[in-house]
């Protein structure tokens, strides 16, 4: 990632996955290299033959152009017999990300990742909130099972004893934090009123919009529309075409309506990219099994608070994000790096 140094715990996790140390860091400097040999910016790794090293580590610059170029280069080198581990942001809307999933195995990275610079500054990603990116490791090469998700790389737990940080065996205390926050929020708010007119929380929409850049809100009111173009209940998004759009859809959550919207999203996904919210409690319904599992499933670690559009009611709901589209690999499951700003 530019001239940032990848933390050793991430690299050690990758080496454990591929079964040995890396021979070359193909996107590095003398400062940031994670292998005995490296390819610097002046040598341009995109023009080099990586097969001379067998096992290559790559943490490319996190700009769209560079990510695209290094991803396709990694796929090319994997076809030549090189094992490549590529640390990348989870940008599923892009064709190069979907190509990596088709040609390799994905490993989630769990826990904050602090990238250091020579001047002592750092950038911390993978925090799961705000504008921070969520990271994954793509492993490609001979013997790698394609189109699968492997074991995650978990940050060692930091335990402070008399001012010193000691490494534990995992990031196991995090779920308890989620549970505590969720319980507190449930005590403060409750679902009031039998209406489906609830607005998508802005923090959740913005997290996804930064990745997908939505052009259409398929189920909205003028007061809560998230895109310049939207369909109101009178226009009925179920009767409109979504072709050619990048669609955001927060449909009515009652059991009589939600299935219609999911099936509509599935049909339109042949000609559009659709990102929608669905209640997690409906996993046993036929529409979930027929449609949702044909896309990408992103789960959240906590309930989401929705505010009533025309009223003062609120609802805490366990929701899942479903991504459907022509370039989406069916059956992919990821955690969503989005958390509501703390209010308790």
Give the DSSP letter string of 26-61: SS--TTT--SSEE--TTT-GGGS-GGGTSEEEE---
d(CA 26, CA 49): 10
Rg (alpha carbons) of the chain, rounded to whole number: 22
- Which domains are seen in the chain, by residue range? 8-159 (3.40.50), 174-335 (3.40.50)
pLDDT value of residue 301: 67
pLDDT value of residue 195: 42
pLDDT value of residue 147: 85
Contacts within 8 Å (CB) and 24+ apart, 96-101: 96/67, 96/68, 96/71, 96/72, 97/71, 98/327, 98/328, 98/329, 99/71, 99/72, 99/75, 100/71, 100/74, 100/75, 100/138, 100/140, 101/138, 101/147, 101/329, 101/332
The b/e string for 42-57 (b: 16+ C-beta within 10 A; e otherwise) is eeebeeeebeebbbbb
pLDDT value of residue 240: 96
d(CA 85, CA 55): 8
Residue 228 token pair? 């310049």
pLDDT value of residue 110: 83
Residue whose tokens read 């640390």: 87
One pLDDT digit (tens) per residue for the chain, 344 residues = 567 899 999 999 999 999 999 999 999 998 899 999 999 988 999 999 999 999 999 999 988 899 999 999 999 999 999 999 999 988 877 889 889 989 999 998 888 888 988 888 888 887 654 445 678 999 999 999 988 888 889 888 654 433 344 343 333 344 444 443 344 344 333 333 334 578 888 989 998 999 899 999 999 999 889 999 999 999 999 999 999 999 999 999 888 899 999 999 999 999 999 999 998 887 778 888 889 988 888 887 677 888 887 777 778 888 899 999 988 877 777 766 544 444 32
Residue 206 token pair? 């913005």
């Amino acid at each position: 990632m530019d001239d940032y140094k990848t933390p050793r715990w991430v690299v050690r996790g990758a080496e454990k996955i591929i079964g040995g140390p890396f021979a070359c860091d193909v996107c590095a400097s003398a400062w940031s290299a994670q292998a005995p040999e490296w390819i610097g910016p002046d040598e341009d790794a995109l023009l080099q033959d990586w097969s001379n090293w067998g096992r290559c580590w790559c943490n490319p610059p996190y700009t769209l152009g560079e990510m695209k170029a290094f991803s396709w280069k990694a796929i090319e080198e994997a076809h030549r017999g090189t094992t490549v581990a590529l640390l990348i942001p989870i940008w599923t809307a892009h064709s190069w990300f979907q190509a990596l999933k088709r040609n390799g195995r994905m490993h989630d990275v769990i826990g904050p990742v602090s990238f250091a610079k020579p001047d002592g500054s750092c950038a911390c990603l993978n925090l799961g909130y705000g504008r921070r990116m969520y990271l994954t490791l793509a492993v490609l090469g001979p013997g790698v099972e394609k189109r699968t998700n492997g074991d995650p790389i978990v940050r060692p737990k930091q335990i402070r004893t008399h001012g010193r940080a000691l490494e534990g065996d995992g990031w196991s205390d995090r779920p308890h934090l989620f549970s505590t926050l969720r319980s507190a929020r449930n005590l403060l708010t409750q679902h009031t009123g039998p209406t489906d007119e609830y607005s998508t929380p802005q923090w959740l929409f913005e997290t996804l919009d930064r990745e997908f850049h939505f052009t259409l809100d398929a189920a909205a009111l003028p007061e809560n529309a998230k895109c310049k173009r939207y369909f109101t209940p009178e226009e009925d998004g179920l009767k409109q075409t979504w072709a050619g759009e990048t669609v955001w859809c927060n449909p009515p959550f009652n059991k009589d309506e939600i299935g219609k919207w999911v099936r509509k999203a599935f049909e339109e996904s042949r000609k559009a990219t659709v990102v929608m919210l669905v209640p997690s409690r409906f996993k046993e319904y036929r529409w979930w099994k027929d449609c949702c599992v044909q896309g990408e499933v992103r789960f959240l670690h906590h309930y989401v608070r929705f505010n009533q559009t025309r009223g003062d009611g609120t609802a805490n709901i366990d929701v899942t994000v479903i991504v459907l589209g022509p370039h989406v690999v069916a059956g992919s499951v990821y955690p969503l790096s989005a958390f509501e700003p703390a209010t308790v």
